[in-house]
Amino acid sequence: MNDPVQRLKVLGAGICSLILALGVARFAYTPLLPLMQQQAGLGVAAGGWLAAINYLGYLSGALLAASISDLVLKDRLYRIGMVLAVASTVAMGLTQDVVLWALARYVAGLSSAAAMLLGTGLILNWLIRHHYRSELGIHFAGAGLGIAGCAAAVALMTPALDWREQWFAFTAIAGVLLVPALGWLPAPDTSTTTKAGHAMVDRPPGLAFLRVFMAAYFCAGIGYVVSATFIVAIVDQLPGLAGRGALVFLVIGLAAAPAAIVWDFIARRTGDIDALILASVLQVAGILLPALSSGLLAAMVGAVLFGGTFIGIVSLVLTMAGRYYPTRPAKMMGKMTLSYGCAQILAPAITGWLGAHLGSYAGGLYLAGGAMVVATGLLVLLKGLERRNARVEASVREEPPVLPPSLTPCCEQG
């Protein structure tokens, strides 16, 4: 019998893990970036490289997630990752050495992969086994809450605390989140059936579908990472908007918190790929608005559109991947995230290079917006592949079996 309290605890573990590993370990860096540039001597290009190294850690975690199938091992690595999220957060406040910062950002990237891929896969596996709807909207609310919470925390702490003290405050928050992230997630069930005894069967997509899907997700990674990493610094550099970047980042997080749940409902009506196409179109507008207009209103509307779409895209893609592989959901999630992660290494480095030459990170928004236009086109192509695959499967089901001559009915033999 299903236990609704246990379901809430499992989803709560996932939410806390995302707030911990994404909100604190990974994205506290974004609202703290201008403060670290002012107080700790962090350069513009170095800020971009630290972001790229963080995503290199995330990519390393994705490689690991894609290479292992053992649920018990995934559970163990997830738990190690949550502890590393706390360790990497405190490390950021213990030094001003760029090399040590880089190491801490790499470890933070590993921990965020543990939450996003291993933790998400374990939770989706648990939901499927217990016959709950295989949707991750509630789970991914943790990402938006983490972003919004970090932005609000920095805004509240900045008048009283310097950059180093704020990293230590985030460490204390991380320690509190660690308890439910570890304690509320049960050990994985390694059987091949659900609780009702139904077989769990993997149904991988075709190779062409997978390649186009990964290419689209690569472009989505570029679209996501520039705004997610540099939007505070970009807005702070716009005329008349100095100090407003943290507010815009807060709006992104508030928009992201319910977004994955909303996109779950949209996908139920339109289908997953049509929902992804719609989210991509809206994200193009969200990314480019702050670049095309210097007003606060444009930046806020852009933040709502961006925050309301990027986490929806991630949630829909990872849910689709998990449905293809219900017995080992992190397998395809890891492959998709390799594509997403490569983009997250390249784009911040390119944006940092552009920032060093142009004097701001704003040029990266055009790079991100262009990438999302390409992603939209690839998703339209993916829709065509899905229809073709559906027609092929339907024709195979309708085709009568071909019997060998010895089994052909006598009335049909010559």
Query: In order of start, what are the domains of the chain with their CATH numbers?
Result: 4-187+203-393 (1.20.1250.20)
309: nearest Cα among 273, 280, 333, 347: 280
CA distances from 166 to 25, 119, 227 (A): 12, 27, 22
Mean pLDDT by 10 residues, the chain (414 residues): 80 94 90 89 84 86 83 93 97 93 95 91 86 79 86 90 95 97 88 62 78 94 84 78 80 86 92 95 92 82 92 89 75 81 80 76 83 95 83 61 45 41
CA distances from 290 to 79, 212, 237, 294, 344 (A): 38, 30, 11, 6, 20
Rg, C-alpha atoms of the chain: 23
Give me the count of residues in the chain.
414
What was the pLDDT predicted at 247? 84
Task: Return d(Cα 95, Cα 184) in angstroms, integer.
Answer: 33
Q: Cα 170 vs. chain centroid, distance in angstroms?
A: 21
Task: Return d(Cα 166, Cα 144) in angstroms, integer.
Answer: 20
Task: Return d(Cα 185, Cα 183) in angstroms, integer.
Answer: 6
120: nearest Cα among 190, 15, 24: 15
Nearest 5 degrees, angle CA 110-CA 224-CA 343?
60
Rounded to two decimals, the pTM is 0.77
Task: Return d(Cα 137, Cα 134) in angstroms, integer.
Answer: 10
What was the pLDDT predicted at 382? 92
Contact assessment for residue 231 and residue 303, using Cβ atoms and an 8 Å cutoff = yes
What was the pLDDT predicted at 273? 93
What was the pLDDT predicted at 30? 83
CA distances from 165 to 158, 160, 274 (A): 10, 9, 45
Task: Return d(Cα 305, Cα 259) in angstroms, integer.
Answer: 10
Q: What is the residue whose two structure tokens read 């049909």?
A: 412
What was the pLDDT predicted at 372? 95
What was the pLDDT predicted at 397? 58
- Which SS3 state, helix, strand or coil, does residue 269 take? helix
Structure tokens at 366: 């055009």
Torsion on CA atoms 226, 228, 233, 235, rounded to nearest 10 = 100
Beta bridge mates, 193: 199
What was the pLDDT predicted at 360? 67
CA distances from 318 to 83, 119, 145, 358 (A): 24, 12, 19, 36
Q: How many CA atoms lie within 13 A of 104 on its CB side?
A: 22
